[in-house]
Structure formats: C-alpha cells, structure tokens
Amino acid sequence: MSDSDKPLERNELGNPDHPVTNLLLYMQTIESFLYITLNHSSISGDFSETDALGAYASAFGVIMSRTAKERKDIPELKTKIEKEGICLFRAASFTEDKIKEFKELVGKTTQDSYGKEVKVLTQLFGHTSTF
C-alpha cells in the first residue's frame, strides 16, 4: 500500500504541519465550490453531497477541532484556546430541552480513546462561524 492509499489517523489531521492538513486547509480557503457547498449543506441540512464531500467535511472537522491546540509557533494561541476555548456562532434554533442538555455538558470531562482526559463535546448542527 502506498502512502497515498494509507488511511489518515486523527493525530495526523490534528498536526498543523502535516501535508494533508495543510492541503485541506488550503482547499477550504481558496475561492472554490468546497466551502460554499459545505456551508450551504450545513445551513440547509442538505445531505445530497455527503457521498462526495462527507469524508472531506469529517476530516476538516477534525482539523478545526485539533490543529490550533497543537501549533507550536504561537504559544499564546495554544494557551488561550486551552483556557478560554473558541467562540462559535451557529445559525440554528434549539428547543428548551436541547439547550438544557447542552448546558448540562458544560465543564464535564471524559477520557478519549488514548486515555487522556478531555472536555465532553457535543454535536451541533447548523452553520458555524468562529473567531
């Protein structure tokens, strides 16, 4: 099996210096159909592109959730993310039950697949903007 056929591991996608991570970040930032299609699908709940872009969207989600924490070139950013997190703004509406469920998860921790204690995460659906 050549390197190009080898499945990517989460830790590779979480590495900000990995060539695949850099390629996917580049693909997301250029003026192409990718970010437009993903944003539209996310906002509208349109799953028609899942077969074509599902793996890319999943990989990009891992990159967004992990790479900033692994950067070595900006220690202040790593510290800020670890202490304060990242603000997310989502274009979505939630029922009172979903809001309560989300609030109950805030501050909770669990062990990841490597045995490391991590914050509990939950899946939210809708359009995301970060800063």
What are 13-23's pLDDT values in tens digits? 888 888 988 88
pLDDT at position 1 is 52
Average pLDDT over residues 26-36: 81
pLDDT at position 29 is 78
The continuous run of DSSP H or E covering 130 comes out as strand 127-130
What are 61-116's pLDDT values in tens digits? 888 877 777 777 777 777 777 777 665 554 556 678 877 888 888 888 888 888 88
What torsion do the CA atoms of 112, 102, 21, 70 make, to the nearest 10 degrees? -60
pLDDT at position 71 is 75
3-state secondary structure 2-46: CHHHCCCCHHHHCCCCCHHHHHHHHHHHCCCHHHHHHHHHHHHCC
Taking the whole predicted model, whether its pTM rises above 0.85 is answered as no
Provide the pLDDT confidence category of residue 125 given band limits of 50, 70 and 90.
Answer: low
Which sign, positive or negative, has the C-alpha torsion 57, 63, 66, 68? negative
Q: Which DSSP letter does residue 111 get?
A: E
Residue 51 pLDDT exceeds 80: yes
What distance in Å separates the CA atoms of residue 38 and residue 50, rounded to the nearest whole number?
10
pLDDT at position 60 is 83
Number of Cβ within 10 Å of residue 60's Cβ equals 20
What distance in Å separates the CA atoms of residue 111 and residue 117, rounded to the nearest whole number?
4
What distance in Å separates the CA atoms of residue 86 and residue 79, rounded to the nearest whole number?
11
Best CA proximity match to 125, nearest among 66, 63, 69, 57 = 57
Q: What are phi and psi for residue 90, nearest 5 degrees?
A: -120, 140
pLDDT at position 89 is 52
